[in-house]
Structure 1
């Protein structure tokens, strides 16, 4: 170039070499500041090799014995930084950093080129170039502070976003976990619901069978009692029929005699009439027993009708006793009634109340039978007493026995379905439950029990008049 700025290789301006290596520090600071390793890893590897450019320009300057290539390194560094910012142009702190570095690096390169190419001009305007470089330096410092603040703010925002993203991820994971648990629980509940529905269907079927079994057991006891009870009137009918036939034969014989005894004929006719009256009475008795059995076995219509409770009590007390006697011929018991004649007719469902009475009477006889088998006290006589009263326009039926009695803890469960104190095969546990339902829900009455273990029990039925 033919001016004093030219240097020999062995006397190269050490300041220019040092200045060129400042660009390496700037490039390193830019990489660190903008975190190019994570943001743009491929380009970061190129920036890492910028030292090769520096060394190449130093070697070139040494080879041609000129500082000019070292001036251009600032422009190369500025171009590399500009491209870096363009790659992450959405980052505000990167743009601010470019605004901070560009004037300083540009003026550094231009001023050094002018000093090298136009040394006289540079020397004449040395103050101007120093002012510009000083301004660029202050500009660099000021905008670097701004960029640093923006970076911190951006880091905070990124951290908040990362935290929010992590929270969303956790929430999403929890949501998926909850959805899975809900789906699993829903499937489990659905399965349990189906199992319960199936169990309910089976339970209803079993309950229907047990209720039918209880009715059939009750009907069996009734039938056994009726078979024994109906035998008496049938015996009377047969006996008086035979006697009546004999009386008719005597009357016919008397009528064919030449000398008829009118007084004997009148006496025979009187006896015959009395026999027929007794046959009619006992036939009616047998008919009423059969009618009671049919009413008991017939499905309840739910229709109330005026009914003589006293007659029902007498009828079913005998039937219950003879029903138990049909199973155990050795069993004997005393039973009596104390019936209020002023009770009159009570509006009720006869079939249902007959089932209640038969159940209560059967249980009473069963209790005294068990106490007798257990070896009751000396002189013990199994006894069942049934009484009726009219109290405050309500019909009160009391069934008392001197049987085994009921413990307090059992009394609390005695009206529960399927609860029984009888051995397996002797009871369904539905008799008292059905009786309680019929009295309380079917007739709006009450069914209560009083009992002491070893002394007996008393069942009290109250029916509205």
Structure 2
């Protein structure tokens, strides 16, 4: 007996050691542990079969079995054992202790007949698996014969149950550790992928394509997808902008498709519902209407996540598997993260694009304003139309990134366009332009003039309105042409044409800019015309001015002659009196001298009375001679004044008796008026200041002033005889 007990103890220790070795050699994998445990315990306890059940959702589910028929094992797998007294496992869970059924066939509470009928079990033993007072499962053993288990055997099974709990706990802890490690590795991978995406976003500020390519590839790799893509909004529909993992044929099909909200596609459903949508099996979905996904792409499971910006979808990220395997919620959440990054990338690209466009527009505007300022400065500072037009066409070609350009002026007489300035063209090409007579409606320039609007041809080689090209054709080698008419009040003045040799369209703002330049060209041409007209008008005005001056000189001469005639008439009357005095007194003096000669011999013998007569005669003669001298001087002054008047204005100043000057002018004016109108008569009263001292004046000018004053006064009073005019000019005046 002692030997038997020793052998049994050794066998138990050996079995326990083997189970522990199985636990250590299979960390986290319970199947080999449970298999070893059941086999060792069944052998030691002399059982024919054994099970390990895990309690899950109120049911005992078989996780390991030993020594049972395949049919019964299949039955146990598909029929979990509920809690209750009708089964060994259910009764053990309820009682939370070891349960021993001596004969299942004879037990009135036992209801699982398949254990007896299929499994061949009669005597049964069940021990609960308890961890920290929580029941986690049951280990059971059975015999195909009615033979109760001994207390020692029950204790041994209890020991194995404890080992099973340790194994389960170790596996749980190890699995949790592995899961945490996996989660950390996955999180690290996610963070690395996010960092990579952010790096791509930062490097590709203006280029969205690399970002979308990286996003969908990263999302697919991390989520275990076989293929995928990102669709973005393009107008009113959504199209794939980036794909990965597609075959060339399937990629071509995807990029040709357009999607709208609806249930016919994964993209349509996402757009319609505004949330993430998953289709477990495309082939089994009755609403899915894109058979190419299954037929060509071999896609079975699909998930789509919207790209949301400000509550509106701007795209969809789609991942697919070529097997039926739905994506987990964690994977879908990860796709949402990538979708958010895609939205950020799209928004950044949009904002940066708008900023770049605005910056470029501002730069263009500044450049255009500077060019316009240069053109305006040329227009305003130069009357040389060739210089101005050369500046305009040069700036127009530069700003439009063209290769050459020409400004034409329209010849109204011949109704043709004549080249006035060219830029970027050889002399031979300019000569060809001059030889060719472009009329309204011909070439791009003529059509622009007729339409009164710019004409733009992106490719002249595809322009059906242009004739065939021959040698010397000005459009040889030209790709694009833009023609702008020069208009003034809807009248064609000329045209501006720019040409580009390389492929590429002109910027949308160029036609408007060239219209502005065309307006300046019109101003330059008109300014040149106005300058020529102004030159002709100036020449004509100068000629007219010369004629006017000559006429004025003749008029002044005529006025002088008229004044001189009036003055001469007055002088003739004035000089008549002193001459009469001179003549009369001269004759009288001759007679007196004759008498004096006759009486000279007898003077000595004359008495006092006779000598008194002779003295009287001599005094008279002396007086006459004085009067003759006085009136001679008067006549001399009159003649002198007449000569000065006829010579024009004299600025010579000298000291004169102003009263005498006024009196002389009054007499000249009066007699001049009388000479013109014999019926004119007026009474003149003179009242000169006797003590007025001589003053320094220009006598001839003052005489003319007094003549005009007296003459105007006499003219106003002609026809009113007897009216007196009192001359007060000699009174104190300033």
TM-score (norm 1): 0.49
1 or 2, which has the higher strand percentage? 2
Asked which structure has the greater RCO (Cα within 8 Å, sep 6+), the reply is: 1
Q: Rg: which structure is higher?
A: 2
1 or 2, which has the higher helix percentage? 1
